């Protein structure tokens, strides 16, 4: 269960702190993604409010005080007019009391994310200090993939519903291809199709076979859509 992860000590890549703790958060959607996200209280109003609330009411959230004590938002982006802590700036400007102020929080989030991405300048990070966030994002992504601290992850933009009204689980699977363009195999098939033992009962059909054999190279023999399919020897 997700609650079993609460309080677990984890390492967050590129973070200032040696380790952080898995903490509860009421505003996370539990029907999308993994349900586990990185907390960035310097630039996410939701995260800022939640950290503030967790520190005020550890008993209410059933956490140990040491899981949040000593952890403060770390400035990483400077935004003109909002400073290095845009989340705190947006929350205080709107007098947001806590995670339940959903409408105000959404306004604050939209402002922080938009201005941060388009106008924000990085203040930390190898090779990205002074760069715009939209440019730094690609550099950091490349660094993390190469170091093994990240993997590519895909998800639908919105809920996928079948014709029967059921919510669908989507998967991006590897696809196996057969190399029909391999010359020795291709020539053998071509000779067979053009030979006397290959009967199609229709000359047009035979011509189509020969035409397709001329351009066919790789062709999928497994599916990537839906839940995908596997070859029997693909473990």
Could you write out the DSSP letters of every residue in 73-140? ----EEBTTTBT-HHHHHHHHTT--STT-HHHHHHHHHHHHHHHHHT-EESSSTTTTTSBHHHHHHHH
Helix 45-56 / helix 102-118 crossing angle, nearest 10 deg: 130
- Residue 33: the pLDDT is 65
Residue 175 pLDDT:
82
Give the H/E segment covering residue 9: strand 9-10
**Token reading at 31:** 């029907």
Q: Are strands 177-179 and 218-220 parallel, antiparallel or unpaired?
A: antiparallel
In tens digits, the chain (235 residues) has pLDDT values of: 788 899 999 999 999 999 999 999 877 777 666 677 889 999 999 999 999 999 999 999 999 999 999 999 999 999 999 999 999 999 999 999 988 899 999 999 999 999 998 899 999 999 999 999 989 999 999 999 999 999 987 777 788 888 999 988 777 677 888 898 899 989 999 999 989 999 998 889 999 999 998 898 888 888 877 667 878 888 7
**CA nearest to 141, candidates 152, 132, 130:** 152
Phi, psi at 114, each rounded to 5°: -70, -55
Distance of alpha carbon 193 from alpha carbon 12, whole angstroms: 59
Q: Could you tell me which of 69, 56, 110 has the C-alpha nearest to residue 86?
A: 110
> In this predicted structure, what is the pLDDT of residue 208?
92
Half-sphere exposure (Cβ direction) of 32: Cα atoms closer than 13 Å:
11
Among the listed residues 90, 68, 86, 91, the one whose alpha carbon sits nearest the alpha carbon of residue 76: 86
Candidate CATH numbers 3.90.1150.10, 3.90.740.10, 3.40.50.2300, 3.10.129.10; the one for domain 2-147: 3.90.740.10
């Amino acid at each position: 269960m997700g609650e079993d992860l609460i309080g677990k000590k984890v390492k967050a890549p590129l973070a200032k702190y040696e380790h952080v703790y898995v903490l509860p958060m009421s505003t996370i959607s539990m029907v999308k993604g993994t349900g586990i996200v990185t907390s960035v209280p310097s630039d996410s109003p939701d995260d800022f409010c939640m950290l503030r609330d967790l520190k005020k009411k550890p008993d209410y959230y059933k956490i140990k005080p040491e899981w949040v004590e000593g952890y403060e938002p770390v400035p990483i982006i400077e935004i003109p007019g909002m400073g290095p802590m845009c989340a705190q700036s947006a929350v205080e400007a709107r007098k947001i009391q806590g995670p339940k102020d959903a409408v105000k929080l959404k306004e604050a989030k939209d402002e922080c994310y938009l201005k941060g991405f388009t106008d924000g300048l990085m203040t930390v990070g190898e090779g990205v200090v002074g760069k715009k966030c939209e440019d730094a994002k690609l550099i950091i992504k490349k660094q993390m993939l190469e170091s093994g601290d990240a993997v590519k992850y895909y998800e639908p933009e919105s809920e996928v519903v079948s014709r029967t009204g059921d919510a669908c689980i989507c998967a991006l699977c590897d696809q196996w291809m057969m190399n029909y363009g391999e010359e020795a195999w291709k020539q053998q098939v071509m000779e067979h199709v053009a030979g006397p033992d290959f009967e199609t009962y229709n000359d047009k059909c035979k011509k189509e076979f020969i035409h397709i054999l001329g351009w066919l190279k790789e062709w999928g023999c497994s599916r990537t859509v839906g839940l995908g399919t596997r070859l029997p020897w693909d473990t």
